[in-house]
Amino acid sequence: MRKSLSFFTVAALLTAILGISAQTVKAARGQTNPVGNDISWPQCGKTLPTTHAFGIAGVNGGTAAKTNPCLSEQLKWAYRAVGGTSQPLAQLYVNTANPGEIIGDITTWPTSNTDKTGFTTNNPYGTCRGDNDRACSWQYGWNRSVEAVIDRFEPAAIAAGVDSSASSYVWWLDVETMNTWQSGSTESLIRNKATLEGMTSYYQLKGVTVGLYSTGYQWNQIVGSTVSSSSNLNGLDSWLAGARSLKGAQSNCKNPALTTSGKVTLTQYVSGSLDYDYSCPQ
Protein backbone atom coordinates (compact mmCIF):
# COMPACT_ATOMS: atom_id res chain seq x y z
CA MET A 1 0.00 0.00 0.00
CA ARG A 2 1.34 3.46 -0.92
CA LYS A 3 1.95 5.53 2.18
CA SER A 4 0.45 9.02 2.43
CA LEU A 5 2.81 11.94 2.80
CA SER A 6 3.47 13.00 6.38
CA PHE A 7 2.75 16.51 7.59
CA PHE A 8 6.46 17.23 7.75
CA THR A 9 6.96 16.04 4.16
CA VAL A 10 4.08 18.20 2.97
CA ALA A 11 5.44 21.15 4.90
CA ALA A 12 8.89 20.68 3.41
CA LEU A 13 7.52 20.44 -0.14
CA LEU A 14 5.33 23.51 0.22
CA THR A 15 8.20 25.43 1.75
CA ALA A 16 10.46 24.52 -1.14
CA ILE A 17 7.91 25.08 -3.90
CA LEU A 18 5.74 27.91 -2.64
CA GLY A 19 7.75 29.45 0.15
CA ILE A 20 5.08 28.57 2.70
CA SER A 21 6.43 27.97 6.19
CA ALA A 22 5.68 24.92 8.31
CA GLN A 23 3.98 27.25 10.79
CA THR A 24 1.56 28.39 8.07
CA VAL A 25 0.87 24.80 6.99
CA LYS A 26 0.20 23.81 10.57
CA ALA A 27 -2.17 26.75 11.01
CA ALA A 28 -4.05 25.77 7.87
CA ARG A 29 -4.44 22.20 9.15
CA GLY A 30 -5.71 23.43 12.51
CA GLN A 31 -3.20 23.88 15.29
CA THR A 32 -3.53 21.81 18.42
CA ASN A 33 -2.50 24.82 20.48
CA PRO A 34 -3.12 27.99 18.45
CA VAL A 35 -1.39 31.03 19.91
CA GLY A 36 -1.72 34.77 19.57
CA ASN A 37 0.87 37.53 19.50
CA ASP A 38 1.27 40.87 21.22
CA ILE A 39 3.07 43.72 19.49
CA SER A 40 3.68 47.44 19.93
CA TRP A 41 6.01 50.25 18.89
CA PRO A 42 9.17 48.04 18.76
CA GLN A 43 7.52 46.16 15.87
CA CYS A 44 6.83 49.30 13.83
CA GLY A 45 7.91 48.69 10.24
CA LYS A 46 8.76 45.04 10.87
CA THR A 47 7.25 41.89 9.43
CA LEU A 48 4.39 40.71 11.64
CA PRO A 49 2.98 37.22 12.14
CA THR A 50 0.22 36.20 9.76
CA THR A 51 -1.14 33.11 11.51
CA HIS A 52 -1.88 34.68 14.89
CA ALA A 53 -4.97 33.26 16.57
CA PHE A 54 -5.54 36.67 18.18
CA GLY A 55 -3.63 39.93 18.33
CA ILE A 56 -2.93 42.29 21.22
CA ALA A 57 -1.73 45.76 20.23
CA GLY A 58 0.10 48.13 22.55
CA VAL A 59 -1.52 51.56 22.74
CA ASN A 60 1.51 53.38 24.11
CA GLY A 61 4.93 54.23 22.78
CA GLY A 62 7.00 52.84 25.63
CA THR A 63 5.55 54.89 28.51
CA ALA A 64 2.04 55.67 29.71
CA ALA A 65 2.34 59.24 28.42
CA LYS A 66 3.38 58.39 24.84
CA THR A 67 1.57 57.02 21.78
CA ASN A 68 2.45 53.96 19.71
CA PRO A 69 3.04 55.57 16.28
CA CYS A 70 1.99 52.37 14.50
CA LEU A 71 -1.17 51.70 16.47
CA SER A 72 -3.48 52.17 13.50
CA GLU A 73 -1.64 49.61 11.36
CA GLN A 74 -1.30 47.24 14.28
CA LEU A 75 -5.03 47.38 14.96
CA LYS A 76 -5.61 46.30 11.36
CA TRP A 77 -3.14 43.47 11.93
CA ALA A 78 -4.94 42.34 15.08
CA TYR A 79 -8.22 42.09 13.19
CA ARG A 80 -6.59 39.76 10.65
CA ALA A 81 -6.27 37.09 13.35
CA VAL A 82 -7.31 33.60 12.28
CA GLY A 83 -9.11 32.68 15.51
CA GLY A 84 -9.21 29.21 17.00
CA THR A 85 -9.29 30.14 20.71
CA SER A 86 -11.81 31.62 23.12
CA GLN A 87 -9.94 34.94 23.03
CA PRO A 88 -11.33 38.03 21.26
CA LEU A 89 -9.44 38.51 18.00
CA ALA A 90 -8.32 42.08 18.73
CA GLN A 91 -7.24 43.25 22.18
CA LEU A 92 -5.19 46.11 23.64
CA TYR A 93 -2.62 46.74 26.31
CA VAL A 94 -1.48 49.96 27.96
CA ASN A 95 1.64 50.93 29.86
CA THR A 96 1.30 51.81 33.52
CA ALA A 97 3.47 53.78 35.97
CA ASN A 98 3.44 55.97 39.05
CA PRO A 99 6.10 58.72 38.88
CA GLY A 100 4.97 60.40 42.09
CA GLU A 101 8.49 60.37 43.54
CA ILE A 102 9.77 62.55 40.68
CA ILE A 103 6.84 64.92 40.22
CA GLY A 104 9.23 67.85 39.97
CA ASP A 105 10.58 66.37 36.74
CA ILE A 106 7.28 65.69 34.94
CA THR A 107 4.33 67.71 33.67
CA THR A 108 1.66 65.00 33.82
CA TRP A 109 1.16 64.79 37.60
CA PRO A 110 -2.39 65.91 38.50
CA THR A 111 -3.20 68.87 40.72
CA SER A 112 -6.96 68.29 41.05
CA ASN A 113 -9.66 65.66 40.61
CA THR A 114 -10.65 67.08 37.22
CA ASP A 115 -9.45 65.33 34.06
CA LYS A 116 -8.72 66.84 30.64
CA THR A 117 -12.36 66.50 29.55
CA GLY A 118 -13.52 68.66 32.47
CA PHE A 119 -14.97 65.70 34.35
CA THR A 120 -14.45 65.76 38.12
CA THR A 121 -13.94 62.28 39.50
CA ASN A 122 -15.32 60.72 42.64
CA ASN A 123 -11.82 59.92 43.84
CA PRO A 124 -12.00 57.23 46.56
CA TYR A 125 -8.83 58.57 48.19
CA GLY A 126 -10.08 62.13 48.51
CA THR A 127 -8.97 65.36 46.84
CA CYS A 128 -5.81 65.57 44.76
CA ARG A 129 -3.91 68.83 45.29
CA GLY A 130 -0.72 67.97 43.47
CA ASP A 131 1.01 66.05 46.26
CA ASN A 132 2.61 62.64 46.11
CA ASP A 133 -0.23 60.85 47.87
CA ARG A 134 -2.90 58.24 47.26
CA ALA A 135 -5.47 60.68 45.88
CA CYS A 136 -3.14 62.08 43.22
CA SER A 137 -1.79 58.60 42.44
CA TRP A 138 -5.33 57.42 41.73
CA GLN A 139 -6.05 60.52 39.63
CA TYR A 140 -2.80 60.04 37.70
CA GLY A 141 -3.98 56.57 36.68
CA TRP A 142 -7.41 57.86 35.70
CA ASN A 143 -5.89 60.62 33.58
CA ARG A 144 -3.57 58.24 31.73
CA SER A 145 -6.56 56.04 30.87
CA VAL A 146 -8.56 59.03 29.60
CA GLU A 147 -5.68 59.93 27.30
CA ALA A 148 -5.17 56.32 26.20
CA VAL A 149 -8.76 56.15 24.98
CA ILE A 150 -9.37 59.67 23.66
CA ASP A 151 -5.95 60.70 22.36
CA ARG A 152 -4.41 57.39 21.35
CA PHE A 153 -6.85 54.56 20.71
CA GLU A 154 -9.89 56.29 19.20
CA PRO A 155 -8.00 58.26 16.49
CA ALA A 156 -5.99 55.16 15.56
CA ALA A 157 -9.07 52.95 15.37
CA ILE A 158 -10.92 55.48 13.21
CA ALA A 159 -7.93 55.76 10.89
CA ALA A 160 -7.73 51.97 10.68
CA GLY A 161 -11.42 51.64 9.90
CA VAL A 162 -12.05 49.30 12.85
CA ASP A 163 -14.36 49.48 15.86
CA SER A 164 -13.47 52.64 17.79
CA SER A 165 -15.59 51.84 20.86
CA ALA A 166 -13.26 51.19 23.81
CA SER A 167 -15.79 48.81 25.35
CA SER A 168 -15.46 46.43 22.39
CA TYR A 169 -11.98 45.43 23.53
CA VAL A 170 -10.21 43.80 26.44
CA TRP A 171 -7.69 46.30 27.83
CA TRP A 172 -4.71 44.87 29.68
CA LEU A 173 -2.75 46.95 32.20
CA ASP A 174 0.94 46.25 31.58
CA VAL A 175 2.53 46.27 35.05
CA GLU A 176 6.32 45.96 34.76
CA THR A 177 9.26 47.08 36.87
CA MET A 178 10.96 48.69 33.85
CA ASN A 179 8.47 51.55 34.12
CA THR A 180 8.62 54.27 36.80
CA TRP A 181 7.17 53.21 40.15
CA GLN A 182 7.33 54.31 43.74
CA SER A 183 9.30 52.06 46.08
CA GLY A 184 10.81 51.67 49.51
CA SER A 185 7.75 51.39 51.73
CA THR A 186 4.30 49.90 52.07
CA GLU A 187 2.85 53.36 51.43
CA SER A 188 4.69 53.43 48.09
CA LEU A 189 3.08 50.14 47.10
CA ILE A 190 -0.34 51.46 48.12
CA ARG A 191 0.16 54.51 45.90
CA ASN A 192 1.15 52.25 43.01
CA LYS A 193 -1.99 50.21 43.60
CA ALA A 194 -4.04 53.42 43.66
CA THR A 195 -2.73 54.34 40.21
CA LEU A 196 -3.84 51.00 38.79
CA GLU A 197 -7.21 51.40 40.51
CA GLY A 198 -7.60 54.83 38.93
CA MET A 199 -6.85 53.43 35.49
CA THR A 200 -9.26 50.57 36.02
CA SER A 201 -12.00 52.90 37.27
CA TYR A 202 -12.01 54.91 34.06
CA TYR A 203 -12.00 51.85 31.82
CA GLN A 204 -14.81 50.25 33.78
CA LEU A 205 -16.81 53.47 33.55
CA LYS A 206 -16.45 53.09 29.76
CA GLY A 207 -17.73 49.52 29.95
CA VAL A 208 -14.32 48.01 29.26
CA THR A 209 -13.18 44.55 30.35
CA VAL A 210 -9.87 45.10 32.17
CA GLY A 211 -7.09 42.58 32.81
CA LEU A 212 -3.67 42.63 34.46
CA TYR A 213 -0.38 41.71 32.75
CA SER A 214 2.71 41.02 34.83
CA THR A 215 4.76 38.31 36.48
CA GLY A 216 4.24 37.29 40.07
CA TYR A 217 7.63 38.74 40.98
CA GLN A 218 7.07 42.12 39.32
CA TRP A 219 3.57 42.42 40.72
CA ASN A 220 4.93 41.81 44.20
CA GLN A 221 7.63 44.45 43.72
CA ILE A 222 5.15 47.08 42.49
CA VAL A 223 1.94 46.35 44.39
CA GLY A 224 2.82 43.69 46.95
CA SER A 225 -0.08 42.42 49.03
CA THR A 226 -1.92 45.74 49.14
CA VAL A 227 -4.90 44.69 47.00
CA SER A 228 -7.89 44.20 49.31
CA SER A 229 -11.04 42.26 48.55
CA SER A 230 -12.85 45.57 47.94
CA SER A 231 -10.32 46.87 45.39
CA ASN A 232 -11.48 47.02 41.77
CA LEU A 233 -8.26 45.16 40.90
CA ASN A 234 -9.37 42.10 42.80
CA GLY A 235 -10.91 39.52 40.52
CA LEU A 236 -9.48 40.87 37.26
CA ASP A 237 -8.15 38.29 34.81
CA SER A 238 -4.38 37.76 34.75
CA TRP A 239 -2.05 37.50 31.74
CA LEU A 240 1.20 36.04 33.05
CA ALA A 241 4.55 36.70 31.40
CA GLY A 242 7.91 35.00 31.94
CA ALA A 243 7.87 31.77 29.93
CA ARG A 244 10.43 30.94 27.23
CA SER A 245 8.46 28.25 25.42
CA LEU A 246 4.91 27.18 24.66
CA LYS A 247 5.29 24.37 27.18
CA GLY A 248 6.36 26.88 29.83
CA ALA A 249 3.42 29.15 28.98
CA GLN A 250 1.01 26.24 29.27
CA SER A 251 2.48 25.37 32.66
CA ASN A 252 2.11 28.97 33.85
CA CYS A 253 -1.66 28.69 33.40
CA LYS A 254 -1.56 26.77 36.69
CA ASN A 255 0.16 29.61 38.56
CA PRO A 256 -1.75 31.85 40.97
CA ALA A 257 -3.51 34.86 39.48
CA LEU A 258 -2.16 38.30 40.32
CA THR A 259 -5.11 39.05 42.60
CA THR A 260 -6.89 36.73 44.99
CA SER A 261 -10.18 36.32 43.17
CA GLY A 262 -8.78 36.53 39.64
CA LYS A 263 -7.96 33.76 37.21
CA VAL A 264 -5.16 33.24 34.72
CA THR A 265 -6.62 33.40 31.23
CA LEU A 266 -3.50 34.19 29.17
CA THR A 267 0.19 33.40 29.41
CA GLN A 268 3.04 34.78 27.33
CA TYR A 269 6.26 33.28 26.04
CA VAL A 270 9.07 34.77 23.99
CA SER A 271 10.43 33.12 20.87
CA GLY A 272 12.96 34.89 18.70
CA SER A 273 12.03 38.56 18.58
CA LEU A 274 8.30 38.09 19.13
CA ASP A 275 5.94 37.59 22.04
CA TYR A 276 3.48 34.72 21.77
CA ASP A 277 0.37 34.28 23.90
CA TYR A 278 -1.37 31.10 24.97
CA SER A 279 -5.06 31.05 25.88
CA CYS A 280 -5.42 29.04 29.09
CA PRO A 281 -8.22 26.45 29.21
CA GLN A 282 -11.05 27.68 31.41
CATH code of the domain in which 58 resides? 3.20.20.80
Q: Are residues 6 and 132 in the same domain?
A: no
Q: Are residues 178 and 246 in the same domain?
A: yes
Residue 20 has pLDDT above 50, yes or no: no
pLDDT per residue as tens digits for the range 221-273: 999 999 999 999 999 999 999 999 999 999 999 999 999 999 999 999 999 99
Q: Are residues 9 and 76 in the same domain?
A: no
Q: Are residues 26 and 82 in the same domain?
A: no
The count of structural domains within the chain is 2
Structural domain boundaries enclosing 57? 34-279
- What pTM did the predictor assign? 0.89
Q: Are residues 80 and 14 in the same domain?
A: no
Q: Are residues 175 and 82 in the same domain?
A: yes
Q: Are residues 228 and 155 in the same domain?
A: yes
The DSSP secondary structure of the chain, one letter per residue, reads -PPPPPHHHHHHHHHHHH---HHHHHHHH--SS-EEEEE-GGGTTS---SS-SSEEEE-BSSSTTSB-TTHHHHHHHHHT----SSS-SEEEEEE----GGGGGG-S---SSSB-TTSPBP--TT----SSSSHHHHHHHHHHHHHHIIIIIIHHHHHHHTS---GGGSEEEEE--TTS----SSHHHHHHHHHHHHHHHHHHHHTT-EEEEEE-HHHHHHHTTT---TTSTTTT-EEEEEEESSHHHHHHHTTSPPSSTT--EEEEEEEETTEEEEEE---
Q: Are residues 20 and 131 in the same domain?
A: no
Q: Are residues 181 and 75 in the same domain?
A: yes
Q: Are residues 145 and 231 in the same domain?
A: yes
pLDDT per residue as tens digits for the range 69-118: 999 999 999 999 999 999 999 999 999 999 999 999 999 999 999 999 99
Q: Are residues 41 and 72 in the same domain?
A: yes
pLDDT, mean of residues 208-226: 98
Q: Are residues 23 and 101 in the same domain?
A: no
pLDDT per residue as tens digits for the range 147-194: 999 999 999 999 999 999 999 999 999 999 999 999 999 999 999 999
